[in-house]
Amino acid sequence: MGYTITEKILLKHTKTKEVRPGEFLNVKIDLCLGNDITAPFAIEEFEKLGLKKVFDKKKVVLVPDHFAPAKDMKSANQCKILANFAKKYGVKNYFEVGRMGIEHALLPEMGLVLPGDLVIGADSHTCTYGALGAVSVGIGSTDLAAAFVTGECWLKTPESMKFIFFGKLNKWVGGKDLILHTIGDIGVDGALYKAMEFCGETIENLSMDDRLAMCNMAIEAGGKSGIIAPDQITLRYVKSIKNPSAGSGFYPAKSRAKRGERSRGIKNKPRRGMGKFYSSDKDAKYSAMKEYDAKKIEPLVAVPSLPSNVKPVKALKDVWIDQVVIGSCTNGRISDLRVAAKILRGKKIKSNIRLIVIPATQKIYLEAVREGLAKIFVEAGGVFSTPTCGPCLGGHMGILAEGEKAISTTNRNFIGRMGHPGSGVYLANPAIAAASAVKGKIAHPEEVI
């Protein structure tokens, strides 16, 4: 019996000769990640052991992004713990304010995650990196402490679910809508501890930014990970990181699509500095398979208070809002900001609406300034922030008061997620969020274009 891409990558990182779902593995990791909420607990446990060094100074990554720039003394102390640890043990990949970004956008941008890697992070949205063809999973802070010491981690081999998307995307539909549709179909526990493998012609023609958004929200269906087999789009993305003059890796080449060529075809070939490209065997076993016709998927909104409460945006009438957030590790990349700016160009948002735009990294921030996107947001009546997770988890930079409603490009809309338990969060793509800012209520992009 063949292996899935997830099983192949796990096998590469363990000493055992075969892997099967449900089996526990001791795996060697390529990278371990902590942030200003989760890493301090790991650091405390590490220090208790009286150790002198981390397993690899280049494979430990610390990113203060959740409450940074520090919103109060407590958060400042949390960030300081990371800074002190990095200095004491010579951690190379510590990213201070001014150089940091939202971790799950920053690491791919820096080329720290490559196809075929195995990454663990003390943050549930570590699953984002599966978009590059890596196995990346969220773990607890004590597991992170152990990884600091050993460079290893215990994992249970997950079963895999295959999600096949076919057909051409409708206008204003992107990766966010595809994953919301999936979660709406299977529920928030529909892929519990499963590796969610996304494939099909729709995925093969999907930009890297949209792939990252999809894998980012695998956890919202209960998934252990999300993953997409690497292909030519992945290769161009990695090349553009390693060599910026090689051109953008964000979008598929239209010329190939017109010729009817597939972007697949790269199998298990080691590429110098480009990672290793794996794909699932034809006879690999899956616990379930789902097929979706992309032509039937409309722009979607997840209404409070679960990501699975999905409705077409056209079905939501007169849902008045108080705040719009465009950003996060899900949709804070440059293509997301371009879409929002296209909607907002030359327009004003409703005077009673707060529009908060947060680019995911400093690089994205600078690009948005160079392209004039920041100017569009500010002239429309919004604010343009330094990178931070901020409002996504109700931390700062946009906390909701009782009774307030927000539409956001973030990934969770649980009760109290963005502030008061009596507030409400609606999840959507950047185009819907921007259109809603103009209308003052949840709106389809076509209503303002």
- The residue type found at 5 is I
Span(s) in the chain for CATH 3.40.1060.10: 159-271+286-296
Say whether 194 sits in a helix, a strand or coil. strand
pLDDT tens, position by position, 100-110: 999 999 999 99
Residue 258 binned pLDDT confidence (cut-offs 50, 70, 90): very low
Residue 261 binned pLDDT confidence (cut-offs 50, 70, 90): very low
Q: Which fold has domain 159-271+286-296?
A: Aconitase; Domain 2 (3.40.1060)
Q: What is the average per-residue pLDDT within 393-401?
A: 97
Residue 273 binned pLDDT confidence (cut-offs 50, 70, 90): confident
Say which residues have a Cβ less than 8 Å from residue 373's Cβ, sequence separation at least 6.
337, 338, 340, 341
Largest Cα separation within the chain, whole Å, is: 63
CATH of domain 300-447: 3.30.499.10
Q: What is the average per-residue pLDDT within 43-60?
A: 96
- What the block records as the tokens of 413 is 């809309």
pLDDT tens, position by position, 301-350: 999 999 999 999 999 999 999 999 999 999 999 999 999 999 999 999 99
Span(s) in the chain for CATH 3.30.499.10: 7-156, 300-447
N residues, the chain: 449
Q: What is the average per-residue pLDDT within 57-66?
A: 98
Q: What is the average per-residue pLDDT within 108-127?
A: 97
- Stated pTM of the model: 0.93
Say whether 141 sits in a helix, a strand or coil. helix
Cα atoms in the Cβ-side hemisphere of radius 13 Å centred on 428: 34
pLDDT tens, position by position, 357-369: 999 999 999 999 9
CA distance 329 to 400: 20
- pLDDT of 428 > 70? The answer is yes
- pLDDT of 254 > 80? The answer is no
Q: Which fold has domain 7-156?
A: Aconitase; domain 3 (3.30.499)
Say which residues have a Cβ less than 8 Å from residue 205's Cβ, sequence separation at least 6.
252, 257, 263
DSSP strands (E only) in 298-369: 300-302, 310-312, 323-327, 354-358
- What the block records as the tokens of 38 is 């989760």
- pLDDT of 244 > 90? The answer is no
Helix (H) or strand (E) holding 370: helix 362-370
Q: What local confidence, expressed as pLDDT, does residue 32 receive? A: 98
Which position has the higher pLDDT, 400 or 266?
Answer: 400
Report the Cα–Cα distance between both ends of the chain, in Å, rounded.
52
